[in-house]
């Protein structure tokens, strides 16, 4: 698997070299929003000699569209959340996939390794953006801001008594970069923090490592930041939770069973939920009918600063991968 961070190959000492080994390389840009905030990543690719093929559909590419755009002379892909399975990898001539994002669940890594395709990703860029949005969504849920805003826009002067964050017990399920950043931000609110997946050897002041069962039973607020798409929260897990719990998910849609969540909302087991990711996107499901469900269209990383870092990291990772191959061939 490729390097995680971004290494800058665009200094004066590297530009001439890049122009040599990347000249004529065709790069498909999968994410429809790539370069919208800042054209620098695209300019860097072109300055390095690459021919950039942009997404003409201006949305997430379907598998057939991806195959169509990955013509026989396209050897590299800056990927979003497109499905990149074995069929896609075997039918194309890809050498490098540089994922613009923190997760790589949409890529068949086993097939990529077997086919000698380099895979890179950018886990650092989204960290602060996702963590800050999580805190914003949590405060919104606790005070029903989105509901009162909607009421007032309809001319209704509705006051809802909410909850304070101070003194609450917050369980963070998935304690990687984003989970740790959320914990850091939460400390300012004087809350009790529990963490699942916390390394047993790792002591973080103010954070109690615990099992998922203990977290579900004791938490007033549960926020999900786990990697992977496997279900974590289903009907049995909801039964363990306190009545009136708040649930937040910015990891992957599949980690929460939607039908069980709807039942929990209707029974008031869950007082409010924020979801930024869904099994099928764009989302058109039943949760749109529940005002206590705060829904956002997978925008956790969508800050100017977060996107700039992710996109530059993706470009630098792609060039790094080709440079490594070039150096191996030379020496």
Give me the catalytic one of 252, 266, 328, 330: 252
Do the Cβ atoms of 253 and 230 come closer than 8 Å?
Answer: no
- State the CB neighbour count (10 A cutoff) for residue 305: 11
Is 54 noted as a catalytic residue in this protein? no
| pTM, full prediction | 0.84
Q: What is the pLDDT of residue 72?
A: 74
Whether the Cβ atoms of residue 141 and residue 188 lie closer than 8 Å to each other: no
> CA 44: distance to chain centroid?
24
Q: What is the pLDDT of residue 324?
A: 84
CA 42/CA 44 separation, integer angstroms: 5
pLDDT, tens digit (0-9, with 9 covering 90-100), for 193-241: 999 986 655 667 899 999 999 999 999 999 999 988 899 999 999 999 9
Separation of CA 297 from chain center = 12
The span from the first CA to the last CA of the chain, in angstroms, equals 22
Q: What average pLDDT score do residues 118-130 get?
A: 94
- pLDDT, one tens digit per residue, over 153-206 is 999 999 999 999 999 999 999 999 999 999 999 999 999 999 998 665 566 789
Catalytic residue among 236, 281, 286, 305: 281
Helix (H) or strand (E) holding 109: helix 109-115
Q: How far is CA 112 from CA 6, 23, 86, 88, 306, in A?
A: 21, 24, 8, 10, 27
Partners of 171 in the beta sheet? 194, 222
Q: How confident is the model at residue 7 (pLDDT cuts 50, 70, 90)?
A: very low
Please answer whether residues 275 and 297 qualify as being in contact, where contact means their C-beta atoms are separated by less than 8 angstroms: no
Instruction: Based on the residue annotation, tell me whether 298 is a catalytic residue of this protein.
Output: yes
The boundaries of every CATH 3.40.50.720 domain in the chain are 12-124+304-330, 127-295
Tokens of 30: 């999968």
- Structure-block tokens of residue 84: 């990149």
Q: Give 229's contacts (C-beta < 8 A, 6+ positions apart).
A: 105, 252, 253, 254, 255
12-124+304-330: in CATH 3.40.640.10: no
pLDDT of residue 17: 40
Q: Is 293 helix (H, G, I), strand (E, B) or coil?
A: strand
Considering 298, 311, 328, 330, which one is annotated as catalytic? 298
| Cβ neighbour number for residue 189 with a 10 Å cutoff | 16
Residue 325 is predicted with a pLDDT of: 74
One DSSP character per residue, 148-200 reads HHHHHHTT---------STT-EEEEE--SHHHHHHHHHHGGG--EEEEES--T
Residue 3 confidence (pLDDT)? 37
Catalytic residue list contains 252: yes
CATH for 127-295 (3.40.50.2000, 3.50.50.60, 3.30.930.10, 3.40.50.720): 3.40.50.720
CA distance 124 to 276: 19
State residue 202's pLDDT score: 65
Is the distance from CB of 175 to CB of 181 less than 8 angstroms?
Answer: no
């Amino acid at each position: 698997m490729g390097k995680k961070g971004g290494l800058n190959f665009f200094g004066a000492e590297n530009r001439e070299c890049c122009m040599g080994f990347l000249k004529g390389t065709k790069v498909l840009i999968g994410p429809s929003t790539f370069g919208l905030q800042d054209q620098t990543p695209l300019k860097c690719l072109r300055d390095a000699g690459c021919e950039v093929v942009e997404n003409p559909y201006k949305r997430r590419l379907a598998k057939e569209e991806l195959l169509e755009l990955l013509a026989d002379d396209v050897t590299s892909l800056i990927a979003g959340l497109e499905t990149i399975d074995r069929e896609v990898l075997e039918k194309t001539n890809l050498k490098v996939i540089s994922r613009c994002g923190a997760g790589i669940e949409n890529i068949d890594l086993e097939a990529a390794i077997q086919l000698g395709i380099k895979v890179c990703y950018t886990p650092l860029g989204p960290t602060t953006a996702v963590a800050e949005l999580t805190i914003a969504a949590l405060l919104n849920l606790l005070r029903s801001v989105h509901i009162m805003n909607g009421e007032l826009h309809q001319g209704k002067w509705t006051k809802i008594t909410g909850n304070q964050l101070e003194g609450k017990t917050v369980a963070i399920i998935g304690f990687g970069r984003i989970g740790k950043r959320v914990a850091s931000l939460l400390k300012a609110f004087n809350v009790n923090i529990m963490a699942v997946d916390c390394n047993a050897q790792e002591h973080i002041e103010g954070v109690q490592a615990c099992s998922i069962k203990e977290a579900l039973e004791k938490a007033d607020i549960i926020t999900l930041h786990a990697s992977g798409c496997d279900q974590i929260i289903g009907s049995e897990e909801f039964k363990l939770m306190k009545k009136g719990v708040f649930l937040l998910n910015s990891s992957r849609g599949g980690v929460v069973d939607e039908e069980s969540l709807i039942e929990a909302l209707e029974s008031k087991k869950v007082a409010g939920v924020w979801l930024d990711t869904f099994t099928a996107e764009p989302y058109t499901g039943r949760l749109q009918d529940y005002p206590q469900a705060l829904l956002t269209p997978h925008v956790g990383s969508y800050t100017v600063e977060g996107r700039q870092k992710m996109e530059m990291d993706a470009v630098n990772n792609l060039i790094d991968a080709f440079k490594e191959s070039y150096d191996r061939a030379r020496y």
